[in-house]
Amino acid sequence: MKSKVRKCVVRGCKNRFIRFPGIKKYCEKCAKREQLKRQSKWCNKPENINRIREQKRLCQRRRRKNFKIAKKIRQDWKKHYKKNRAKIIKTKRKRYWGTSIRKRQLAYQYKRSAMAKQMVMAHYGKQGKPMCCWKNCRVADLDCLSLDHINDDGHEEKYRGVVFFIKLIKRGYPKGLQTLCWNHQWKKEIFRRKKNRGKTWI
């Protein structure tokens, strides 16, 4: 069967559509209008009004019945939970924390966070290594290293911790950061406060 582009039958409608012979007469907009008209005509007939009312009553009865059943189930569950609270909590913890899936997830998260921190600290450290950028400082322990904003604009960052490291890797290691140990991080903050001592409170 070949399809042909035809005009819509409704007056004043200039839409065109692909029509298969003997199947379609209206465009999509006019077809919806015609369907609504037919539905309204069918609903307004006196024969069908009683049917619609009966259907509504049946739906209301079913809803009430389901609501009563659900209410009863909630009440029974509350009573059961009060009696066996400790057992239910134990079983839930065993199901989640005792499973091998959760252990694998935690192991993967720890490994991923350690790798992300090492990559970021190495990029912003001395000579491409995870080391403090302060002069004559040889601290290379990852637990003692931290990222520092050179222009002191860290308060503008939304993310913290491991999420911040992952975002930096995705952004392609933007400029304006350096690796410092915790001691020199605090020493830099002391220098900043000394400069602004006359202007603002420490």
Residuewise pLDDT in 10s, the chain (202 residues)? 445 666 676 666 766 655 545 446 667 677 766 766 676 766 777 777 788 788 888 888 888 989 999 999 999 999 999 999 988 888 877 776 666 777 788 888 888 888 989 999 999 998 888 899 898 888 888 888 988 888 888 788 888 888 888 888 888 888 889 999 999 999 998 888 888 876 555 4
What does the block give as tokens for 184?
Answer: 């020199």
Distance CA 60, CA 129 (A): 71
pTM of the model: 0.49
DSSP, collapsed to helix, strand or coil, labels residue 17 as: strand
Residue 130: left (phi > 0), alpha (psi -120 to 50), or beta?
Answer: beta
